[in-house]
Structure 1
Amino acid sequence: MCASCDSSSKLLPATTKMARISFVRVNYLFLTWLTVLVGSWVFYVQYSAYTELCRGHECKNAICDKYRRGIIDGSACSSLCDKETLYMGRCLSTLPNNQVYTGSWGDHDGIIHCKLGEVVHYELGEEPEPRRETPVFDKPTRGTSVEKFKEMVFNHLKSKLGEHANLASLVSQILSVADGNRDGRVSLPEARSTWALLQMDEVLLGLLLQDRGHTPRLIGYCGDLYMTERVPYGPLYGLSLPWPLVSWVPSGLQRSMDQWFTPSWPRKAKISMGLLELVEDIFHGTYGSFLICDLTAAHFGYTDRHELRLTNTQAVVSEEEFRRTMRALKCETDADCIYGADCHTSCDLSERRCREEPFRPNLAKSCEALKDYLLRGAPSEMREELERQLYACMALKGNAGQMNMEHSLILNNLKALLWKQISHTKDS
């Protein structure tokens, strides 16, 4: 009996061990199953988002169909649709109706933009509704003379920018771009493509600013598809995370990573000089004043020579259009008078209307965006003065007295301080 007890007591640990092994296996299988399930779900969500956002083949088919029917033409049409030497590469789209891709055209690397109709969502089991068509390119109409087309362009520019003496020269510049095949004349299909491009404010503003080197150069177009040169480094500072990771990385960690991945300080100073020069050129410039209404670092990049480029001209609006928009806005508080992310005015409570005067000028917002960028790693002998000037710049208000003089003084002092520090370096 005792021997039997001893035998059973020896078997118990083995049974327990087997039970533990079985439990571990069950846990392992469950975790494996859970990992596969979650991974499949994440893959499905990301793939569904990708297929909705990235529809370059639809964009190309829609454009080339209109080109082959003789409705549109442009400098890139033949390469895109006939020779197939213009390629769409990696998808950069963040909106389904605004297709953005890296592109290659001969020796040029660029960014391709194309508009598409909105994606129509429908419930499972329902018949899908037809997707909204892209613009029909019906203007100018057949029989329109070149002089009439010039008048159309002039009036469009006037409505966007206001009355300026230099609009006629801008019209000539645009007609030069419209002559895509360089035969000395603008055909009706070329005029339709150009007119469609001019309806997009980002293209118009890109043409205005590219002469001073502030925006990527327009390489070619076909209909409302267009290609600009690629800015090799962006955003302004920091690491550009792939879009699936952006929502997973905490904002605090992203800000820290922004500071880790920056050029050397002299190069940051040169890039900052480019932003200050952009602000200077659009403040009472050739075609009036413009406001930068979103100074997010993602909207700026820089070249191999550390020259700043504004990569998203949708962040810029003419002061004429800004004032017109504000006049039409009803308000209860100042919070109702916002345009974009960074442009706002105050609310006139007596009339319940937004005032037209922007509250902060471009320079103040630019200095705020550059503060951490410039102060981190700044030479010790100039850090205190640089900080003082940046805070004086950030304090500028749009309705301050002697605004023009104060604006110019602060801008020139800041540029002089930066130039003094980097003028003797190879980065200058």
Structure 2
Amino acid sequence: MCVSSNPQARFSYLRVKYLFFSWLAVFVGSWVVYVQYSSYTELCRGHKCKDTICDKYRKGVIDGSACSSLCDKSTLYLGKCLSAKPNNQVYTSIWGDLEGVIKCQMEDVLHYDLGAEMEPRKEVMLFDKPTRGTSVEKFKEMVLSHLKAKVGEQANLQDLATLVLSVADSNKDGHISLPEAKSAWALLQLNEFLLMVVLQDKEHTPQLLGFCGDLYVTERVQYTTLYGVSVPWLMELLIPSGVRRSMDQWFTPSWPRKAKISIGLLEFVEDVFHGTYGNFLMCDVSAATFGYNDRHDLKVVDMRKVVPEAAFKEAMRDRRCDADEDCVYGADCRTSCDLTKRRCTPEPIRPNLAKACQALKDYLLRGAPSEIREELEKQLYSCLALKGSAEQMEMEHSLILNNLKTLLWKKISHTNDS
């Protein structure tokens, strides 16, 4: 005779099972919320940054074109947090009728000193220079010396110093006060700010709107990545890298618009090669470094890793190494290791153009018109094969860059997207 199972015992088992999985779901959910909240509070400390800046401003230590709006009138305020690292606070902003992006360095940040080791160095005291009693002439000498270390000896170094001093004069009264000078000096330690001054008249550089101390406000770029789609971090862990790359390429504009954006990137390569104030190396050519506006004009959204070639070479020449992997700055600037001297060689292995083509290859070939696809692929692979510095192969570099721009422009010049 079969004995039937006890319904009450079965019910108790199901209840325990249900309670266990409910507890597990609550635990996992709470852990996810905690991690997300902890990450947010660590990454998004903009109000602390603002409080520090405004405290310095009210004490008369610093001054700048954005100080009064940020600290007194409350017409400049922080919006959505975009920070990727705790020491570099990034927020959307509204300043009157202007939409912008606020970038603020925490007081305990690690600044990149590109004139020395190109490694993070901790500021002993923020806004400690220039000191009281420093004349404008002495401050100009400080600026000249700093710029010489960054961009190298140049005939037009005086012009660059004059440009920096004109930005430092935030109220345009023809006089640089000590608080203005302290703000300008702190900002000059930031590579992105220097680049924004150097490239302020270039189409693909976001406009500098104002500053206060080492907080500065830039033009807001509507689309902040060249391509790709954001997914929850948990999904990010589960998606294979190959599938992730394919997904990124699905979420892109139409091909003619991609071609226009790509022409913009090629033009930016021209801007930083043999520019008015020397050559600059693009040391991070990832999709997140570049964006575009609603007219599909490329804009560089993060210039912290666009470094002066002179400073890069000097820093690499002093760097000890045991292998080529030790001679890397950012994601994309590499030299080789001289094993006989245990020192990095100063010359970069790949020019900016080859790195830009690496970023554009899949982006441009996906959906390319059949009549130009073969030629486009040929030009891109010729570009990827470029080695050595652009100066060593200036003619080949210029030929490939112009051929690519011409090929793309011919295809879109008659369309509305151009």
Which letter does structure 2 place at the counterpart of 1:225? L
Decide which of 146, 153, 159 is 1:169's aligned counterpart. Answer: 159
Does 2:302 match 1:305?
Answer: no
Structure 2 counterparts to residues 270-419 of structure 1, below 5 A:
270-398=260-388, 403-419=393-409
Q: Distance in 2 between matches of 1:171 and 1:406?
A: 33
Decide which of 79, 89, 110 is 1:89's aligned counterpart. Answer: 79
Q: Distance in 1 between matches of 2:246 and 2:153?
A: 46
The Cα shift of 1:80 comes to: 0.9
Is the 8 Å Cα contact of residues 46 and 244 (structure 1) preserved in structure 2? no
The Cα shift of 1:214 comes to: 2.1
Does 2:33 match 1:43?
Answer: yes
Q: Could you give the per-residue CA deviations for residues 99-140 of structure 1, whole angstroms, max 9, x where no partner exists?
A: 111111111111111111449xxxxxxxxxxxx998431212
Structure 2 counterparts to residues 171-320 of structure 1, below 5 A:
171-241=161-231, 246-247=236-237, 249-320=239-310
Which letter does structure 1 place at the counterpart of 2:229? L
Q: Distance in 2 between matches of 1:401 and 1:419?
A: 26
Seen in structure 2, the aligned counterparts of structure 1 residues 245 and 182 have a Cα distance that, compared at 3 Å, is farther
The Cα shift of 1:290 comes to: 1.0
Q: What secondary structure, in the 3-state scheme, does the structure 2 residue paired with 1:427 have?
A: coil
Q: Distance in 1 between matches of 2:234 and 2:187?
A: 31
Is the 8 Å Cα contact of residues 115 and 134 (structure 1) preserved in structure 2? no
Which letter does structure 2 place at the counterpart of 1:404? E
Higher-RCO chain (CA-CA 8 Å, sequence separation at least 6)? 2
Which letter does structure 2 place at the counterpart of 1:307? D
Q: Distance in 1 between matches of 2:274 and 2:21?
A: 64
Q: Distance in 2 between matches of 1:242 and 1:177?
A: 41
The Cα shift of 1:186 comes to: 1.7
In the alignment, which residue of structure 2 is the partner of 1:154? 144
Seen in structure 2, the aligned counterparts of structure 1 residues 133 and 419 have a Cα distance that, compared at 3 Å, is closer
Seen in structure 2, the aligned counterparts of structure 1 residues 245 and 192 have a Cα distance that, compared at 3 Å, is farther
Q: Could you give the per-residue CA deviations for residues 335-358 of structure 1, whole angstroms, max 9, x where no partner exists?
A: 222122111112222222221111
Q: What secondary structure, in the 3-state scheme, does the structure 2 residue paired with 1:83 have?
A: coil
Seen in structure 2, the aligned counterparts of structure 1 residues 305 and 242 have a Cα distance that, compared at 3 Å, is farther
Q: What secondary structure, in the 3-state scheme, does the structure 1 residue paired with 2:262 have?
A: helix
Q: Could you give the per-residue CA deviations for residues 19-61 of structure 1, whole angstroms, max 9, x where no partner exists?
A: 3333222211111111001111121122122222221221111
Q: Distance in 1 between matches of 2:64 and 2:8?
A: 75
- Percent identity of the aligned residues? 67
Which letter does structure 1 place at the counterpart of 2:270? E
Is the 8 Å Cα contact of residues 160 and 277 (structure 2) preserved in structure 1? no
Decide which of 414, 420, 427 is 2:417's aligned counterpart. Answer: 427
Deviates more, 1:329-338 or 1:224-233: 329-338
What is the TM-score when the length of structure 2 is the normalising length?
Answer: 0.92
In the alignment, which residue of structure 1 is the partner of 2:70? 80
Is the 8 Å Cα contact of residues 116 and 134 (structure 1) preserved in structure 2? no
Q: Distance in 2 between matches of 1:250 and 1:26?
A: 36
Is the 8 Å Cα contact of residues 116 and 133 (structure 1) preserved in structure 2? no
Give the unaligned 5+ runs of structure 2. Answer: 110-121
Is the 8 Å Cα contact of residues 117 and 134 (structure 1) preserved in structure 2? no
Q: What secondary structure, in the 3-state scheme, does the structure 2 residue paired with 1:210 have?
A: coil
Is the 8 Å Cα contact of residues 216 and 309 (structure 1) preserved in structure 2? yes
Q: Distance in 1 between matches of 2:61 and 2:75?
A: 21
Deviates more, 1:406-415 or 1:326-335: 326-335
In the alignment, which residue of structure 1 is the partner of 2:112? none
Q: Distance in 2 between matches of 1:387 and 1:117?
A: 48
Q: Distance in 1 between matches of 2:131 and 2:36?
A: 43
Decide which of 52, 55, 60 is 2:50's aligned counterpart. Answer: 60
Is the 8 Å Cα contact of residues 293 and 339 (structure 1) preserved in structure 2? yes
Seen in structure 2, the aligned counterparts of structure 1 residues 73 and 247 have a Cα distance that, compared at 3 Å, is farther
Bigger-Rg structure (1/2): 1
Q: Could you give the per-residue CA deviations for residues 266-317 of structure 1, whole angstroms, max 9, x where no partner exists?
A: 0000100011111112112211111111111111101111111111111211
Q: What secondary structure, in the 3-state scheme, does the structure 2 residue paired with 1:314 have?
A: coil
Q: Distance in 2 between matches of 1:147 and 1:106?
A: 36
Q: Distance in 2 between matches of 1:179 and 1:387?
A: 49
Is the 8 Å Cα contact of residues 234 and 301 (structure 1) preserved in structure 2? yes
Q: Distance in 1 between matches of 2:348 and 2:73?
A: 49
Which letter does structure 1 place at the counterpart of 2:337? C
What is the TM-score when the length of structure 1 is the normalising length?
Answer: 0.89
RMSD: 2.1
Is the 8 Å Cα contact of residues 110 and 228 (structure 1) preserved in structure 2? yes
Deviates more, 1:394-403 or 1:350-359: 394-403
Which letter does structure 1 place at the counterpart of 2:333? C
In the alignment, which residue of structure 2 is the partner of 1:128? none
Is the 8 Å Cα contact of residues 282 and 307 (structure 2) preserved in structure 1? yes
The Cα shift of 1:242 comes to: 6.0
